[in-house]
Structure 1
Amino acid sequence: MAEPKSACTWDDQGALPRPAADGSSIRGDDSPRGPNRSWRGQLRTYPQMGAHTQEEHPHSRRQSQPQTAFSVSPVKFGNRQGRSNLALAGLWALAIVLLAGCGTLRLDGGGGRSSQKETAAQEQSPGASQGAKNGGMKPFSDVVPDTARTDEGLITTHRAGDDLYLGIPDSLTGREILMVSRVSKTQADLLRVGGGGKKVNSQVLRWQRRGDELLLRVASYEKTADSDDPVYQSVQNSSFEPILKAFEIKSPNKDSTGVLINATKLFTSDVKALGLPKDMRQRYGARRLDGGRSYLSGAESFPENTDVEAVLTYQADSPPSSSSTVTISVEMNHSMVLLPEEPMQACHCDQRVGYFGVERINYSSENQQADEECVIRRWRLTPSDVEAYASGELVKPEEPIVYYVDPETPKKWRPYVKKGIEDWQKAFREAGFKNAIQARMPSENDSTFDADDVRYSTVRWFADDFPNARGPSVRDPRFREIIESNIYMYHDIQSLLRDWYFVQTAATNPEARGQNLDPETMGRGIRYVAAHEVGHTLGLPHNFASSNAVPVDSLRSPEWTSEHGTTPSIMDYITG
């Protein structure tokens, strides 16, 4: 069945666009990128230079793509009064495309479901959990000792000595689980850029029962089709899910609602998808994992996610530091989060609005070919009061976007990072939401907070001399809902800001000629960087073309720049 064409409409997964104050709107033309859509407000688009393809955006490269100039002025950290002039003209369009349900798309990924034959085989297999007790398996108490440390949650964990047992409930069988793997602690210079906390892999996993075994499979969503289209089964057959690991079922779980497996080797043996990435192995000549120097270091479970940490040690020909050891040791964090059964409604890319998008192949297209389509990355925001939202009132979202400021951030810069995050509140208010984006400091009494936990979006501070910052995010690969983000602020971003300020203003600004900027000026620069990187984590690429929107004579006018700043978009680079 072909995808129906529709304008943006409110459902339980998106927001209803409301007319602008003057009743204006713009409606998308038919295109192979997706259905007609409508947004509040008028879009003002400028062609940009270059092509932007990366999710992380070093400030030393000026990559970009077509994008609406949504007039988000940067923090003018050269202005001693420090006005945060985030004028967000046209942000209604930005925020609606970001937040609203745009178009309808009911496509299942190629790896979305087990085939009917597999499902039937599972149902007929002798390993159903209630039958496990009659299948000759040991009782739970014979496998997990009373001294084990148990943590209940999405997947209940049992630590017994060096072993990790996982209780997998029947309700998780077949469900999609996103696993995000990060290097939580790193040997010096291993990552070249950044320290502990950097994401190295993410994948969607699925548990599948096969007799007395439990298989862990990796789902794929590169090919799609309508589930009621005959070609759907062919897409399934050509997207067979590889088996990451097979586990012997040891016993029923404690309450007999699932099964128990020993998952120790999944995290401590050389499973390539859960260890050092291939490029690092090649770069440092990592030959093999040393099991004698690898071990589990932690396991925690929460209602919606389960985290496991392990120390992995590799024999390496050319380690980045401590070369005499011929060794690389890292601590890996693996956070498993349950994805919603019903994915968020997809929103197609539009050439007039710059968003990070992901290409995939749709075999249900009516274009008489396997059609490439692009879906944007965006957060899910649902109005707490749909009727009030539709009538034009400002409402709170059911779940706000919350960024936690890393406790490792120097204290003097924390207020500026917090302001940079909350500068985006004005944009969300234009989209009809109040308090939609918030900055918080983790409570010192909150023992559950962990910056590596996929439940928390954070602005992290890395002890690294790389003069940059980055804004990557973790997405649901089915329809690209942003799950969380971790902004990387490298310590020497300060040197980049100082150099920018000197080069761009020192000719007429004596305070820019010193070796160091005064703390207030540097703080405003850090605030700008935080706001810029938050924009990336909201799905927005660079917008360098917006610089062309300001006439040169205006840029030379102190009165004009003090009022408007030097660029209409926070996604541009600041120019003094």
Structure 2
Amino acid sequence: MTHSVKSNRQVLVVHKRIKQLIAVTFITVSGFAQQKQSEGSAATGGGGNAGAQPSPAVKAAPKAYKDIITAKAVSCTGLFIVHKVEDKIYFELPDSILNHDMLIISRLAKAGADMRSGSSMSGYAGDVLNESVVRFEKGPNNKLFIRDISYSERVKDTASDMYKAVMNSNIQPISLAFDIRATRKDSISGVQHTVIELTDIINGDNDLFFWGGSKGKFSVAGYQPDKSYLQYVKSFPINTEIRTVKTYMKVANNTANLFNGVLSTNTPAPKLVTVELNTSIVMLPEKPMQARYADDRVGYFSTSYTDFDANPQGVKRVSFAERWRLEPKKEDMQKYNRGELVEPVKPIVIYIDPETPAKWVPYLIQGINDWQVAFEKAGFKNAIIGKMAPTAAEDSTWSLEDARHSAIVYKPSAVPNASGPHIVDPRSGEVIETHINWYHNVMKLVHDWYFVQAAAVDTAARTMHFSDALMGQLIRFVSSHEVGHTLGLLHNFGSSSTTPVEKLRDKKWVEANGHTPSIMDYARFNYVAQPEDSISEKGLFPRIGEYDKWAIEWGYRLIPDVKTATEETPTLNKWIIARSADKRYWFGYERSEDDPRSQNEDLGDNAMKAGEYGIKNLKRIMTHLVEWTKEDNEGYDNLQNMHVQLFQQFNRYVGHVLKNIGGRYETFKSVEQPGPVYEAVPEAVQSEAMRFIHQNVFITPTWLLDKKILSYTGNYPMEIINALQDGAISKLLSSQTLSRLMNNESVNSKTYTALQFFNDLYKGVWSELETKAPIDVYRRNLQKLYIDRLSFYVKPPAGTTPLKSSEISAVGRAQLVMLRSKMRGALPVVQDTMTKYHLQDLIEKIDNTLSTK
């Protein structure tokens, strides 16, 4: 759900040397698996203390290996050979992994009880705290360094002068330095090994290995070493995992009240917070995956950098689409190129957290496996697999913290949401690992959505507790959506706009095709369907659609005989152009401010028609709201909540319509595609939108004000209507809307003009000035909002920034002058006392605004 969506992006990958590594064993504080080391030559001499601070003095030579890794050592082999010698921890690094890119990823393994607020989406087990690309390298004076690597600026040609210039301005910082404690030459492979001590790093509070910059988010500081300890280190073939328990002080307000662990004056008493942290050190692939350039016409998360090669007369910002590495087996490559489905060398496997309630596990797995049909379009079968995490009896080595494993992580949280982050190799955009966040209270979110959007047509939705079967299907849909994010897909907020509204009521068509071509849209359920349409859940629920299959094909299908991302680009462009004639393959960016086709929570190709159908269903639900929210021995909290949810749904329909006014369509194209990229929303559509607002917002929607419901909930009717109308007027008379109307008119005089807009607005807001009818309390409030907004543009309050556009001020002044004249003309014939008082008050407000004093 979370639009987000993209958080915590990095990577881990297979290194070719892992075939030489032995089976994984475990290291814990209480006991290490014993493993005898092969003997080899070792240098002799004194050694220094391990630590993070380099010494300027020349250190003595490392000690003999047997003097550091003594007979008391308990050791295991993986990415590093890790030794525990009494209370000391040593890493033994073969030279073969020096100067190779690695990731350090730190996560909350167990969160502190009081480290987050109740509404926070962060601070839960599994959350990523810090991500860094690093390299281990040898330095002078018997030192081994860790460099913090950035790929924000790149030059491909390492022999060019430009490469040297860029490198001279981008030296990578040395973040940590260690004394080399011993060396060893492996008697079998002949590879030289270097031993460093990490005791102080692991037992300390180092940002690179643990929090990074995340402490401030949770207001923790004042590390408590006496209340912190190492739990274990586990080493796997391509990664090493460190689990620590750490305790800090937490200040109620913010960490600004703590400086070097000392409390400032008047600071609230701190609390202690203890967390378990998991740190993964992961080898990135020696050869990065072949990248694929991102394209605005297909929605993928992207990894970006500045390329000094791409433009010989400047620089270019280059973005790689974020994708998992899927490759056919060598023996299947010819089949794949012929168009036959083949299994990938390494499928995408996503496990279900063992702590997940068992009854929801099958639905989460199905949500993952639903994507298999999309990968078949890219030439792969069984490319993505959801499965339950193995039990300890089935696999004692499996761990949720093992960075090789992807999972949906269950979080016992009141947060009504879910999110699909993933970890990415910044060199290529390759995704290999994800921890999808599954917050427990997402079930309330989907319940409330389905109730207000589908209860009019689905009897199963007319209750506060859905059946497990219905809730399971809702969970499945959310699972599919979040998995789509981990596969690299952005939200496609434009997808639902490609479906004609009337097709949403066509039972045969909508059940066959779905109400939106993309599950990555925020088009939850088919709220357009009417009871008489008899549409089943198949036509109400979202599903993997045509766009999703196309996007996976574009991102994952391999192109034969190409070796670089640049060589792929012409073919990929042709694919997009070939699909562009069919609107159902269109991608609408979620952050498009102007395009009314790209909105969340909307349906259909006409927001006004869809909204009218949606309102009909809301009115049906309103008449049964008391009955459908009732629970024995309970109060009216359910009724209160669902009345608010119903109002918010209505407000969404209004918002969908409002975006058409002053809007413009944004259709990304390459130069090979004809037609404009930007077009103003047609005049007829904007006029239709204004009529909708007049009929459903400016004419008071009294159907929202059911007296029986208000008597149970205590909600005030004027507050409900005022919130609705204030939102509409604020949007219509925003400087953004007015500026866009004027800008569109400057490009095309036949578009919907600012004067047409104000004429239509006058008819909707001020009709009583023409009919001389009494103005009720709701309309009086609406008209006050109108005057206040225009007055703001004509005479901004002291301390506010004046508008850059004098046109808006001029139009606002003209409207106020006209309205004052109309009000003065109406006053002599108005009979209603409150209407008279209201008009007199508004005239005085306008006089004050137009006054030069």
TM-score, length-scaled by structure 1: 0.74
In structure 1, C-alpha distance between the alignment counterparts of 2:79 and 2:159, rounded to whole Å: 32
Equivalent residue, structure 1, for 2:459: 510
Equivalent residue, structure 1, for 2:525: 575
Q: Which moved more, 1:398-407 or 1:192-201?
A: 192-201
2:334 pairs with one of 384, 387, 391 = 387
- 2:301–2:321 CA contact under 8 A, matched in 1: yes
The reply to whether residue 205 of structure 1 matches residue 134 of structure 2 is yes
SS state at 2:354 partner: coil
In structure 1, C-alpha distance between the alignment counterparts of 2:406 and 2:359, rounded to whole Å: 21
1:412 pairs with one of 342, 349, 359 = 359
Deviations 1:192-222 (A, max 9, x none): 3252111111111111111311111111100
Q: Which moved more, 1:364-373 or 1:402-411?
A: 364-373
1:534 pairs with one of 442, 463, 483 = 483
SS state at 2:107 partner: strand
Deviation at 1:319, TM superposition (A): 8.4
Deviation at 1:538, TM superposition (A): 0.6
Aligned length: 451
The reply to whether residue 228 of structure 1 matches residue 159 of structure 2 is yes
1:457 pairs with one of 380, 398, 406 = 406
Unaligned runs of 5+ in 1: 1-51, 58-128
- The one-letter amino acid paired with 2:6 is E
Equivalent residue, structure 2, for 1:428: 375
- Sequence identity percentage: 39
1:156 and 1:216, CA in 2 relative to 1: closer, same or farther beyond 3 A?
A: same
- The one-letter amino acid paired with 1:521 is L
Deviation at 1:259, TM superposition (A): 1.1
- The one-letter amino acid paired with 1:228 is A
The reply to whether residue 305 of structure 1 matches residue 234 of structure 2 is no
- 2:42–2:64 CA contact under 8 A, matched in 1: no
Deviation at 1:180, TM superposition (A): 1.3
In structure 2, C-alpha distance between the alignment counterparts of 1:132 and 1:236, rounded to whole Å: 35
The reply to whether residue 339 of structure 1 matches residue 250 of structure 2 is no
Deviations 1:444-490 (A, max 9, x none): 12111111211001111111111111000001111111121111111
Equivalent residue, structure 2, for 1:219: 149
SS state at 1:487 partner: strand
1:172 pairs with one of 97, 104, 114 = 97
Q: Give runs of aligned pairs for residues 68-79 of structure 1, distance below 5 A.
A: none
The reply to whether residue 327 of structure 1 matches residue 272 of structure 2 is yes
SS state at 2:323 partner: coil
Equivalent residue, structure 1, for 2:669: none
Equivalent residue, structure 2, for 1:315: 249
- 1:177–1:338 CA contact under 8 A, matched in 2: yes
2:43 pairs with one of 112, 129, 132 = 132
Deviations 1:428-456 (A, max 9, x none): 11111111111122221211111121100
- 1:162–1:296 CA contact under 8 A, matched in 2: no
In structure 2, C-alpha distance between the alignment counterparts of 1:468 and 1:146, rounded to whole Å: 52
Deviation at 1:167, TM superposition (A): 0.6
Equivalent residue, structure 2, for 1:12: none
1:282 and 1:379, CA in 2 relative to 1: closer, same or farther beyond 3 A?
A: closer
Q: Which has the higher strand share?
A: 1
SS state at 1:515 partner: coil
1:494 pairs with one of 422, 443, 446 = 443
Equivalent residue, structure 2, for 1:563: 512
Deviations 1:234-268 (A, max 9, x none): 22222211112111111124847311111122222
- 1:167–1:253 CA contact under 8 A, matched in 2: no
- The one-letter amino acid paired with 2:234 is E
* Bigger CA radius of gyration: 2
Deviation at 1:497, TM superposition (A): 0.9
Equivalent residue, structure 1, for 2:346: 399
- 2:91–2:196 CA contact under 8 A, matched in 1: yes
- The one-letter amino acid paired with 1:260 is V
1:278 pairs with one of 210, 213, 235 = 213
In structure 1, C-alpha distance between the alignment counterparts of 2:105 and 2:217, rounded to whole Å: 22
Deviation at 1:279, TM superposition (A): 4.9
- The one-letter amino acid paired with 1:205 is V
Output the aligned Cα RMSD.
Answer: 2.2
- 2:5–2:420 CA contact under 8 A, matched in 1: no
Deviation at 1:367, TM superposition (A): 4.7
Q: Which has the higher helix share?
A: 2
Q: Give runs of aligned pairs for residues 255-294 of structure 1, distance below 5 A.
A: 255=186, 257-281=192-216, 283-284=218-219, 286-294=220-228
SS state at 2:434 partner: strand
In structure 2, C-alpha distance between the alignment counterparts of 1:450 and 1:234, rounded to whole Å: 45
In structure 2, C-alpha distance between the alignment counterparts of 1:282 and 1:478, rounded to whole Å: 28
Deviation at 1:133, TM superposition (A): 4.3
1:253 and 1:167, CA in 2 relative to 1: closer, same or farther beyond 3 A?
A: farther
In structure 1, C-alpha distance between the alignment counterparts of 2:79 and 2:436, rounded to whole Å: 26
Equivalent residue, structure 2, for 1:359: 304
- 2:104–2:134 CA contact under 8 A, matched in 1: yes
In structure 2, C-alpha distance between the alignment counterparts of 1:243 and 1:542, rounded to whole Å: 38
In structure 2, C-alpha distance between the alignment counterparts of 1:365 and 1:565, rounded to whole Å: 42
- The one-letter amino acid paired with 2:246 is L
- The one-letter amino acid paired with 2:206 is V
The reply to whether residue 146 of structure 1 matches residue 75 of structure 2 is no
- 1:162–1:295 CA contact under 8 A, matched in 2: no
- 1:214–1:249 CA contact under 8 A, matched in 2: yes
SS state at 1:274 partner: coil
- 1:218–1:243 CA contact under 8 A, matched in 2: yes
Deviation at 1:502, TM superposition (A): 0.3
1:555 and 1:166, CA in 2 relative to 1: closer, same or farther beyond 3 A?
A: same
Q: Which moved more, 1:290-299 or 1:419-428?
A: 290-299
In structure 1, C-alpha distance between the alignment counterparts of 2:236 and 2:449, rounded to whole Å: 44
In structure 2, C-alpha distance between the alignment counterparts of 1:414 and 1:563, rounded to whole Å: 27
- 2:368–2:385 CA contact under 8 A, matched in 1: yes
Deviation at 1:361, TM superposition (A): 0.5
1:193 pairs with one of 98, 121, 143 = 121
- 2:227–2:246 CA contact under 8 A, matched in 1: yes
Deviation at 1:517, TM superposition (A): 0.6
1:519 and 1:157, CA in 2 relative to 1: closer, same or farther beyond 3 A?
A: same
Unaligned runs of 5+ in 2: 9-39, 46-59, 255-267, 527-853
- The one-letter amino acid paired with 1:524 is Q
In structure 1, C-alpha distance between the alignment counterparts of 2:79 and 2:312, rounded to whole Å: 43
In structure 2, C-alpha distance between the alignment counterparts of 1:133 and 1:481, rounded to whole Å: 44
In structure 2, C-alpha distance between the alignment counterparts of 1:434 and 1:201, rounded to whole Å: 35
- 1:319–1:328 CA contact under 8 A, matched in 2: no
Deviation at 1:162, TM superposition (A): 3.4
In structure 2, C-alpha distance between the alignment counterparts of 1:189 and 1:293, rounded to whole Å: 17
In structure 2, C-alpha distance between the alignment counterparts of 1:282 and 1:572, rounded to whole Å: 30
The reply to whether residue 181 of structure 1 matches residue 181 of structure 2 is no
Deviations 1:378-431 (A, max 9, x none): 111111111111111111111111111111111001111111111111111111
1:450 and 1:253, CA in 2 relative to 1: closer, same or farther beyond 3 A?
A: farther
